[in-house]
Amino acid sequence: MPSEGAVSTADNIDDEKSSMDARLAQALSILSEQEAAQMLGNQDNLPRLPIPSLSDSVSDFLRACEPQLSPEEYAETERSCKTFLENPEEGQKLHQALLDYDRQEGKNSYLEEFWETAYLAQRTPIPINTNPFFVLEDDPTPARTSQIARATNLVWSSLKFYCSVRDGTLEPDMQRTTPLCMTQYTRLFGTARIPGKGVDTVSYNPDSRHIVVMSRGHVYWMDVLGEDGKVCLSQTQIEEALRSIRTDSLRYYIGENLNQAVGLLTTENREEWAVRREKLRLASGENASSLQRIDSAIFVLCLDDTSPSSQAETASNSLHGTSELAAAEGYAAGVQVGTCINRWYDKSLSIIVCQNGAAGINFEHSVIDGHSVLRFASDVFTDTILTFAENIRKGFKQHKSS
């Protein structure tokens, strides 16, 4: 039994520990608030997007037209532009309306609304026409170039990037010493373009905790974040889940793959896709739930049945997939088995991984610009290398201790 003095001393230690814990919790809370303000901390101080003068806009327009017009056509265009500039009821009036629009409360950029409408009102199919792509550098570690290993690393690092966006700790982009707007990063994940009559809309879920995985045209989903917003799976668990998904997709007859390849409809003209999507959604509660789950996913991972032999082939696959017909009973013209059936082009972000580990990104352009995706791709690639080095270090320490 301890003496009374010993008990008293223990109580004092407990009191000091409680006080220290409270101070530590307070410090962490302050640090968390500071970190949360980091990504968007410069937003209120960003310079407004400048509106060029009317004469500069007209000069830029003529400069863009000149290579595409004959000398006669260009001369006529030049005369029309001169009239437009000098007539107070035309160019000058419109330019003043733009200046007035820019001064409206809540307008941070005169271009933003027009930019989104210009994309969302387009009725042509979005693959090739508007969706850009990036080819990712090959993983420099040969042991990690299999499809599942590469996909696991990319998913793991992408989720870390997503969490830094979600909690606001992503380091702001800078142009030399000038901070850049960071709001696009909040639209990179959990976002989808929804087809509509006349104009599309954007669906955004900032609290998404799952990803969608596509393999051979089949759509799967898996929870990757817990209720606390942190990654709830280890790299090993992610790898096991992806391997299980891949194995399951291989058991289907190729005709079944085509029948299940609903993602092909995202390559349609937007008016046609809007009608067909609504029919799909209304056909059953399960359909409606599945579409919502795809729309709200953090991103889509596409496990492709192809092994590009060059960067050009990887680029082609990332942009529009491959087209390949296979003979199948009941299909006179054959069955499409190319990677073109393994896409959901409406998603803001699709990570594509081939059988030989070659990888790329396809993204929907209406709410995301290229520089944001380039930053994402660069950070993710760097993190995959650093994570690999850290795992080697941990393994070496465990080996030494044993």
- What pLDDT is recorded for position 280? 96
The answer to the question of residue 373 being in a domain is: yes
How many other C-beta atoms can be found within 10 angstroms of the C-beta atom of residue 307? 14
- Would you place residue 400 in the very low, low, confident or very high pLDDT band (cuts 50, 70, 90)? low
The answer to the question of residue 42 being in a domain is: no
The answer to the question of residue 120 being in a domain is: no
What CATH number does the domain containing 338 carry?
3.30.559.70
Domain that residue 22 falls in: 1-27
The reply to whether 14 and 71 lie within a common domain is no
Task: State mean pLDDT over 94-105.
Answer: 90
The reply to whether 285 and 361 lie within a common domain is yes
- Of the candidate ranges 3-17, 119-133, 148-162, 181-195, the one whose mean pLDDT is the lowest: 3-17
How many other C-beta atoms can be found within 10 angstroms of the C-beta atom of residue 108? 14
Note the residue count of the chain.
402
The answer to the question of residue 117 being in a domain is: no
Q: Tell me how many domains the chain contains.
A: 3
Amino acid identity at 186? T
Residue 188 has pLDDT above 50, yes or no: yes
Structure-token match 């992806």, residue found: 242
- Per the structure block, which two tokens stand in for 341? 């059936």
Kind and range of the H or E run holding 150: helix 147-166
- Would you place residue 402 in the very low, low, confident or very high pLDDT band (cuts 50, 70, 90)? low
The reply to whether 204 and 307 lie within a common domain is yes
- Would you place residue 36 in the very low, low, confident or very high pLDDT band (cuts 50, 70, 90)? very low
Q: What predicted TM-score, i.e. pTM, was given to this entire model?
A: 0.82
The Cα 300–Cα 257 span in angstroms is 18
- What pLDDT is recorded for position 22? 53
- Would you place residue 43 in the very low, low, confident or very high pLDDT band (cuts 50, 70, 90)? confident
- What pLDDT is recorded for position 352? 99
The answer to the question of residue 118 being in a domain is: no
The reply to whether 90 and 233 lie within a common domain is no
The reply to whether 132 and 8 lie within a common domain is no
The answer to the question of residue 40 being in a domain is: no
Average pLDDT over all residues of the chain: 87
- Of the candidate ranges 48-52, 232-236, 281-285, 313-317, the one whose mean pLDDT is the lowest: 48-52
Sign of the torsion angle spanned by Cα atoms 100, 106, 112, 118 = negative
- What pLDDT is recorded for position 332? 66
The Cα 126–Cα 270 span in angstroms is 8
The reply to whether 79 and 226 lie within a common domain is no
Q: Supply φ then ψ for residue 217, to 5 degrees.
A: 85, -10
The Cα 35–Cα 296 span in angstroms is 26
Whole-angstrom CA distances from 277 to 195, 262, 292 are 8, 10, 12
The reply to whether 68 and 164 lie within a common domain is no
- What pLDDT is recorded for position 9? 34
The reply to whether 156 and 279 lie within a common domain is yes
The Cα 159–Cα 230 span in angstroms is 9
The reply to whether 80 and 218 lie within a common domain is no
The reply to whether 278 and 204 lie within a common domain is yes
- What pLDDT is recorded for position 24? 42
The answer to the question of residue 94 being in a domain is: yes
The Cα 135–Cα 339 span in angstroms is 16
Specify which residues 329 forms β-bridges with. Answer: none
User: Which DSSP string corresponds to 308-344?
Assistant: -SSHHHHHHHHHH----EEEETTEEEEEE-SGGGS--
Task: Specify whether 365 is catalytic.
Answer: yes
Sign of the torsion angle spanned by Cα atoms 247, 253, 258, 260 = negative
The answer to the question of residue 46 being in a domain is: no
- Would you place residue 398 in the very low, low, confident or very high pLDDT band (cuts 50, 70, 90)? low
The reply to whether 134 and 190 lie within a common domain is yes
Structure-token match 């590009």, residue found: 308
The reply to whether 212 and 351 lie within a common domain is yes
Which among 218, 365, 371, 399 is annotated as catalytic? 365
Neighbouring C-alpha atoms within 13 Å toward the C-beta of 369: 9
